[in-house]
Amino acid sequence: MRANEVPSEEITRDPAAFADRVTADGRFGRVAEPGRYRLVVSRACPWAHRTVIVRRLMGLEDAVSLAVTDPVQEVIDGDPHWVFTEATGSPGGRDPVLGVHALREAYLARDPGYTGGVSVPGLVDVTTGHLATNDYDRLSLDLAGEWGPLAREGAPDLYPEPLRDEIEAVGAEVYRDLNNGVYRAGFAPDQEHYDRAVAGVFARLDDLEARLSSRRYLVGETVTLADVRLFTTLVRFDAVYHGHFKCNIAKLTEYPALWAYARDLFQTPGFGDTTHFDHIRVHYYRVHTGINPTGIVAAGPDPAQWLAPHGRAALGGPPFGRATLPGPVPEGERVPDIAA
């Protein structure tokens, strides 16, 4: 879908165009080697944000480098594309490692005849310039558990085997009603589709409010991929989904347990320190001209509220159990500080 269009039918998501898996043992043909792959993301995108969080929690910053696109897509040949610009630290508008202006160049390097959409995140093989995968969900899983000795000492187990069925069951509901539900509401082609989507969004938020009233994390006693998947939608909810996508029955801040849970995660290294509110607001309000034709970017809400005390520690132990917190954010990857 182009940036200035509203779909005539309910929005759907295409399967990943490329889905090569990268693992420590190379059993799928690609080996996780330090410096071999570059993760291309937009800090505005919730699907890309998942991979950035996992990469940071696992301490893979030195193993897989990070490339950040401009939050405003550039229209090339009639379609919006993720591009590198001077504003996001790419001299001459080209990524300094890959040498490309638009992520689609890595797609075309992999398949010169490719005519499909281009999405983030994209894991690119630095040695060939080819896109390895744009499968955000599988990429998150593999970064969490398949990069073996390249992960930092003390890295958490974000996908513990005894909890995997529950993580996936909860994740499927959250994806259907909330992660993707906000998009189905925001890009609804008519009132009927909107009403159905927005009802699902808030039914799921109500369910999560009840679930998180008595437990610190979504599944189990520590942070898992279930929390990562939920967080990237929650952190965007009041900033863009509430107004821009018309999900305005209530704000996240009006859910006591859910809002405290979101702040708890935000204040945990790996979550808030990978969240760029300016990129989020600018992307959604500037790019989606079909639902915001003026391109005016909303001013609020004040992100400093994310630093308010949450009181969630009383519900459980440390976020990663016996594992340790990740270290400082690398100098070149820091997002703007939020003033208290």
* Binding site, annotated residues for glutathione: 82
Amino acid at 65: S
Instruction: Mark whether 255 is an active-site residue.
Output: no
- What is the total residue count of the chain? 340
∠ at Cα 189 (183, 193), nearest 5°?
Answer: 70
- Which one from 37, 45, 255, 284 is the annotated catalytic residue? 45
Q: Find, among 166, 181, 272, 180, the residue nearest to 219 by Cα.
A: 166
- Which one from 37, 136, 175, 183 is the annotated catalytic residue? 183
- Packing angle, helices 164-174 and 225-236, rounded to 10: 20
| Structure tokens, 21 | 């898996």
DSSP-H helix ranges across 187-254 = 191-211, 225-236
Exposure on the CB side of residue 139, measured as CA atoms within 13 A: 29
Q: How far apart are CA 125 and CA 109, in angstroms?
A: 10
∠ at Cα 179 (178, 182), nearest 5°?
Answer: 65
Sorted by sequence, the CB contacts under 8 Å of residue 198 that are 6+ apart come out as 181, 185, 246, 247, 249
Instruction: Mark whether 183 is an active-site residue.
Output: yes
- Backbone phi, psi, residue 216, to 5°: -75, -40
For strands 64-68 and 37-41, give the pairing.
Answer: parallel
- Backbone phi, psi, residue 37, to 5°: -120, 150
Count of other CB atoms within 10 angstroms of residue 328? 8
What is the DSSP code (8-state) at residue 22?
E
Q: Find, among 2, 13, 337, the residue nearest to 183 by Cα.
A: 13
Q: Point out the residues that are catalytic.
A: 45, 183
